[in-house]
Amino acid sequence: MQENKRFYYKIYDDEGVKSYFKCNLPNDEVKKLIKEFEKDHQEYYNNDFLKFLKEHDPATEEIDVCAIYY
C-alpha cells in the first residue's frame, strides 16, 4: 500500500503575514503553481493562494504551528 507523501510549507504574503500549510504537492510543483497564480493576481494573499492551491490539490489545508520549549 503506497502512502501519499505530505509536504509542509511556510509562506508570506504581500502584507508579511506568515502562514503554514500542508499538501501532497512537491516543491517543484508548488513553484510552478505560484508562477501561474502570479499571472492572474496583482497582490498576493495567503488565503487566496491556498484556495487556488486547493483547486489543484484538494488535500491542501492551512495548519497551525506552535513552538515547544523544554
Domain boundaries defined on the chain: 7-63
Residue 57, pLDDT > 80, answer yes
State mean pLDDT over 12-40.
95
Q: Is the pLDDT assigned to residue 1 strictly greater than 80?
A: no
* Range 28-48 average pLDDT: 94
**Which are the contacts of 2, defined by CB distance < 8 A and separation ≥ 6?**
none
- Whole-number Å distance between alpha carbons of 23 and 25: 6
Can you tell me the distance from the alpha carbon of 17 to that of 11, in angstroms, rounded to the nearest whole number?
8
- Which pLDDT score, from 0 to 100, does residue 2 have? 52
